[in-house]
Amino acid sequence: DPKKDPIIPQEQDFSCIKLFDDLGQGLGLHGSCTTSNDWGKITLSDGEQAFLNFSDTVSLDGTVASTITECSAFPCPVKIEEALAVHILGGPPYLPVKIKIAIVDESLNLVQQIAVKTQTDNGLHLYVDPTKFESGKYYRMYYRVSASGAPSLIEGYGNFLVCKTYIDGVNTTIESDCL
């Protein structure tokens, strides 16, 4: 039986990120990119969908299908040991929906999975736990929003960066204070 070459994990490049302030206002792009489809409706590959196909106990009972236009996570970059807000933009507002989230690192190692009920034009806050996340590292969040009778109102992903300090773009910069 011939020896097989070892499988070397493929690193992904998550360094193109959409920047958002702590209120979710867009601040442009960071990285070697001029455009980004992050946080919109993105058709996920079978491999990407597999991250979201975990079992959970969150029922679709009481959820309502609605038009979801995007998800976002802010601030980006996010300070370690702080909250990353995940916002579901759509309407009409305040309709109950379910969101499943899977976060991976650049080696596609699973960092966190969560499923919760929330509302349109609302969202949740995720604690950037220093036992799971590293400062100076990029991550990708896969998401799927669903409701009763609608298994996928929107799915996609967005990249984000974790930093050791809050980045204001004036007194602190991504290059000197994060990477």
How many structural domains is the chain composed of? 1
Residues recorded for the chain: 179
Tell me whether residue 7 is in a domain: no
The answer to whether the CB of 126 falls within 8 A of the CB of 102 is no
* 69's tokens: 């236009």
The pLDDT score that the predictor gives to residue 5 is 52
Give the residue numbers spanning the domain of 67: 17-177
The pLDDT score that the predictor gives to residue 174 is 85
Tell me whether residue 3 is in a domain: no
Going from the first residue of the chain to its last (179 residues), give the mean pLDDT of each consecutive group of 10, the final group possibly shorter: 50 84 89 87 94 97 94 94 95 94 96 97 95 96 97 96 84 77
pTM of the model: 0.90
Tell me whether residue 100 is in a domain: yes
The answer to whether the CB of 62 falls within 8 A of the CB of 174 is no
The pLDDT score that the predictor gives to residue 133 is 98
Tell me whether residue 69 is in a domain: yes
The pLDDT score that the predictor gives to residue 7 is 46
Tell me whether residue 147 is in a domain: yes
Nearest-angstrom CA–CA distance, 70 and 17:
15
The pLDDT score that the predictor gives to residue 1 is 44
Q: Are strands 78-79 and 150-163 parallel, antiparallel or unpaired?
A: parallel
Tell me whether residue 10 is in a domain: no
In SS3 terms, the chain reads as: CCCCCCCCCCCCCCCCEEEECCCCCEEEEECCCCCCCCCCCCCCCHHHHHHHCCCCCCCCCCCCCCEEEEEEEECECEECCCEEEEEEEEECCCCEEEEEEEEEECCCCEEEEEEEEEECCEEEEEECCCCCCCCCEEEEEEEEEEECCEEEEEEEEEEEEEECCCCCCCCCCHHHHCC
What separation in angstroms does the CA of 91 have from each of 66, 94, 108, 122, 151? Answer: 6, 8, 32, 10, 17
Tell me whether residue 143 is in a domain: yes
The pLDDT score that the predictor gives to residue 8 is 47
Q: What is the CATH number of the domain that holds 42?
A: 2.60.40.10
Tell me whether residue 59 is in a domain: yes
Nearest-angstrom CA–CA distance, 30 and 28:
7
The answer to whether the CB of 106 falls within 8 A of the CB of 121 is no
